[in-house]
A and B are shown apart, each in its own frame.
Chain A
Amino acid sequence: MAGVDEDEVAQIVVDTSFDAAGTPIVSVSGELDSSNAASLEAAVAPLAAAHAARLVFDLSALRFMDSAGIAVLLGVAAKVQTVQLREPSDAVRRVIELTGLTGVLPIES
């Protein structure tokens, strides 16, 4: 039973909007890890296919992200010309930096 109880699913909320230029802004809040990365992937897949020029991940409310989350961002980055991260928390920003991905997943200036 212990394994079942502890195998908790972290919660994320994905909210998509579009700015004036029509750029999709994907807001991800909560904790993004291997237990829910697939749901983010499913949410952004149609956006990545339809809006190939630019996509922004608003990570201001994302408290945690592991390699599974990074993999999703990288998957979008492979399809979209420009992917930018908006206001990542220090925790998320350091993961991006330490993984050597600041070039692939640039932080919006």
Chain B
Amino acid sequence: MAGAAFLLGMAVTAAFALTSLALYHHNESHLLRLRARQVGSVLTAAVPAIQTTLASAAALADATGGDAEKFRAFMAPYAGPGRQFASASLWPVKASKPAPTVVVGAAPVLASLPRQARALFARARHSRLLNTTGILGSARPSVGFAFSTPGGEHRFAVYAENPLPKDRRSALAGNSAFSDLNYALFLGRSRNPKNLLVTSLHRFPIEGRQASTVVPFGASAFTLVVTPRGPLGGTFFADLPWIIVIVGALISLAAAAMTDRLARRRQHAEQLTGVLDRVAAENHQLYTEQRGIAQTLQHALLPDALPEIDGLRVGARYLPAASGIDVGGDWYDVVAIDDRRALLVLGDVSGHGLHAATTMALLRHATLAYAAEERHPAAVLTKLSDFVNSGSHDYFATMLCALIDADARRVTIASAGHMAPLLIEGDDSRYLDLDANVPIGVERVLDYEETTVSVAPGSTLVAFTDGLVERRGEVLDAGLARLRSAATGKQLTRDDLLATLTRDVATDDHQDDTAIVVIQWQA
């Protein structure tokens, strides 16, 4: 990902840089052509200054018949060392052997080149413009300008000459308007190296970006070639492609780094999600295991089997809370006293967890011990209360203790703060009316009371813990009514009744453990 982001960034950068570079080159070439034309204009502008001087001198010579003194006087300000021309001379144009009659300043080199002089003055005679000649093969290379007043009666030509710089090389002054250029100036309309007049360049042929222009110069012409010494549009534009490349590369690197970071974060997030999923799965497994352990313990504390007693059908269910890992404190026992009677014990220790479970185990075994010596449920509870309140503790337990007589169809029952069981007789049912004595563990009770109830054949007693009827947001009586309604009028067998109660009354989200014991007398 990071690599892709970097490559994409670099591709965009390259596109921008190349575009910028192309624009830069286009711009520089355009600027250079403009500069060449400007230089040409400056050169052309020099023509009148030369031509006017020479033309004036020619007119004077014609008017004075080539008067040497007058010519000398006129040209003295223009010719000589440090002046406009190094040399100025007056030449009779019709002489068979051209030679100057008057010379101001240095001796003209042209004087030693009669053929070139004759050709020059021949051109001058037929031209109304300044003529230029280059004396380039000479030991003293020079450039010369000639002007002759047109017309057959004029006999003189004025010639001015300037030496070319050593090696034809002359840099433009640093403060010149053209200091940003190198140049080469050729005489004529081509850039023939033999006609090179002056240049700032050291090497030929001229390489790189260049612009050339032909500059009219009187009757003659110069060819000017310029090359940039640096970027004409300013260094910023020259540097722009590089700036783009560098900035682009940095941006690409940043993008790559960011992409890398995002990718790492995503990877990290995915890893984290994986870890969380794993932890959740482990938690779930742990929860399931602990819940399993809790239920195993719970069942271990409950009776393995219920007694078989003639005339009675006994059934029980233990429903762990829909969720949670705590062991509940609910328990039940049905023990046979003899072949006709059974003792039912059902209890609920407050709270959950191992503490409640161990308390439950303690109470269960204590109860069974007392039941072995006492036949009266109230006496069992009283002894238990005495036993429990002999030490300090922080729990309490509600309990039912009932003696079930199969033959006599009778139940003797005592409650320690526990909800009374439901008695179903035919299509009718009722909760037994019991004295709700205080739970075990609250205070020592010396006189738990018991109630004896006779039941019709086929009656059913349903004892339960509060998980079966207790719901948030309603009074307990509503749950009791619901239980009664579910259990009544259907002549349910023991097993069907347990199934119905389990299904209808114990909701899927019941939050408390629930124990149910059903005792059914034979019809």
Among A4, A67, A101, chain B packs the most CB atoms within 10 A around the CB of A67
- Write the A87-109 contact mask toward B (1 if CB under 8 angstroms, else 0): 00011001101111101100000
Number of interface residues of B (CB under 8 A): 42
Cα A35 to Cα B323 with chains together (Å): 13
By a CB distance below 8 angstroms, the chain B residues around A19 are none
What are the residues of chain B within 8 A of A3 when measuring CB–CB? 284, 287-288, 291, 323-325
Task: Indicate which residue in A7, A63, A64, A100 contacts B324 across the interface (CB closer than 8 Å).
Answer: A7
Name B512's contact: one of A66, A75, A91, A101 (CB within 8 Å).
Answer: A66
Decide if B476 touches A71 in the complex (CB within 8 Å).
no
Chain B residue numbers with a CB within 8 Å of A34 are 326, 351-352
* The one of B323, B325, B474, B476 that contacts A98, using a Cβ cutoff of 8 Å: B476
Q: Residue A100 contacts which of B348, B417, B473, B477 (CB distance < 8 angstroms)? A: B417
When distances are taken between beta carbons in the complex, the residues of chain B under 8 Å from A37 are: 351
Q: Are A91 and B475 in contact (CB under 8 A)?
A: yes
| B509 interface contact, C-beta 8 A | yes
**In the complex, chain A residues 49-71 whose Cβ is within 8 Å of any chain B Cβ:** 63-64, 66-68, 70-71
Q: Evaluate whether A100 and B436 lie within 8 angstroms (CB atoms) in the complex, with A71-B396, A94-B476 already known.
A: yes
For A33, list chain B residues within 8 Å (CB): 511
Q: Do residues A99 and B398 form an inter-chain contact, with CB atoms below 8 A?
A: yes
Please indicate the chain A residues that have their CB under 8 angstroms from the CB of B437 in the complex: 100
Residues of A within 8 Å of B280, CB to CB, are 1
Q: Which residue in chain B gives the minimum CB-CB distance to A103?
A: B438
Interface check A40, CB cutoff 8 A: no
When distances are taken between beta carbons in the complex, the residues of chain B under 8 Å from A95 are: 476
- CB < 8 Å neighbour of B442 from A6, A68, A74: A74
Question: Complex formed: what's the CA distance from A98 to B287 in Å?
Answer: 34
Q: How far is the CA of A90 from the CA of B291 in the complex (A)?
A: 34
Q: How many A-B residue pairs have CB under 8 A?
A: 91
Q: Check B472 against A100 for contact (C-beta < 8 Å).
A: no
Q: Does B415 contact A (CB under 8 A)?
A: yes
Shortest Cβ gap from B507 to chain A (Å): 13
- Any chain B CB within 8 A of the CB of A20? no
Tell me, yes or no, whether B322 is within 8 Å of chain A by CB: yes
Q: Which residues of B contact A70 (CB under 8 A)?
A: 350, 396
Partner of A1, one of B283, B416, B418: B283
Bound Cα distance A76, B212 (Å): 112
B511 to chain A, nearest CB (A): 8
Cα distance A103–B375 in the bound complex, in angstroms: 28
CA distance A99 to B399 in the complex (A): 10
Instruction: Kindly list chain A residues whose C-beta atoms are within 8 Å of the C-beta of B439.
Output: 99-101
Task: Tell me if A31 and B351 are in contact (CB < 8 A).
Answer: no
Given the complex of chains A and B, what is the CA–CA distance between A95 and B396 in angstroms? 14
Q: Which residues of B contact A21 (CB under 8 A)?
A: none
State the CA gap A63–B474 with chains docked (Å). Answer: 9
Would A101 and B442 count as touching, CB distance under 8 A? Answer: yes
Task: Please give, as numbers and ranges, the residues of chain A lying within 8 Å of B394 by CB-CB distance.
Answer: 71, 75
Within the complex, the shortest CB–CB distance from A6 to chain B, in Å, comes to 4
Instruction: Decide if B470 is an interface residue (CB 8 Å cutoff).
Output: yes
A2 within 8 A of partner (CB): yes
Query: Which residues of A are found within 8 Å of B351, using beta-carbon distances?
Result: 34, 37, 67-68, 71
Once bound together, how far apart are the Cα atoms of A6 and B443, in whole Å?
35
Please report the C-alpha to C-alpha distance between residue A104 and residue B475 in the assembled complex, in whole angstroms: 21
Q: Are B443 and A104 in contact (CB under 8 A)?
A: yes
Q: Which residue of A lies closest to B283 (CB)?
A: A4
Known: A34-B352, A68-B350, A101-B417. A94 touches B283 (CB 8 A): no
B16 interface hit (Cβ, 8 Å): no
Query: Are A64 and B472 in contact (CB-based, < 8 A)?
Result: yes
Taking a contact as CB atoms under 8 Å apart, the answer to whether A63 and B473 are in contact is: yes
* CB–CB B396/A97 < 8 A: no
B74 at the interface (CB under 8 A from A): no
Which B residues are CB-close (under 8 A) to A75? 394
Contact of B466 among A2, A64, A67 (CB under 8 A): A67
- A64 and B396 contact, CB distance less than 8 A: no
Cα distance A77–B441 when bound, in Å? 12
Cβ–Cβ contact A2 & B323, under 8 A: yes
Residues of B within 8 A of A71 (CB): 350-351, 394-396
Question: Smallest Cβ distance from A55 to chain B, in angstroms?
Answer: 17
B419 within 8 A of A: yes
Report the Cα distance A95→B436, complex, angstroms: 11
Say yes or no: A6 contacts B322, CB within 8 Å.
yes
| B464 to A: closest C-beta gap in Å | 12
A-B pairs with lowest CB-CB distance, top 4: A100-B436, A100-B417, A67-B350, A99-B417
20 inter-chain pairs at a CB distance below 8 angstroms, sorted by A residue, are A1-B283, A6-B323, A6-B324, A7-B324, A34-B351, A67-B466, A68-B352, A71-B396, A74-B396, A74-B442, A77-B442, A91-B474, A91-B475, A91-B476, A94-B475, A98-B419, A98-B476, A99-B417, A99-B436, A103-B438
Known: A3-B325, A71-B350, A104-B442. 12 other contacts (CB 8 A): A2-B284, A7-B323, A31-B472, A77-B442, A91-B474, A98-B436, A99-B436, A99-B438, A100-B415, A100-B435, A100-B438, A101-B442
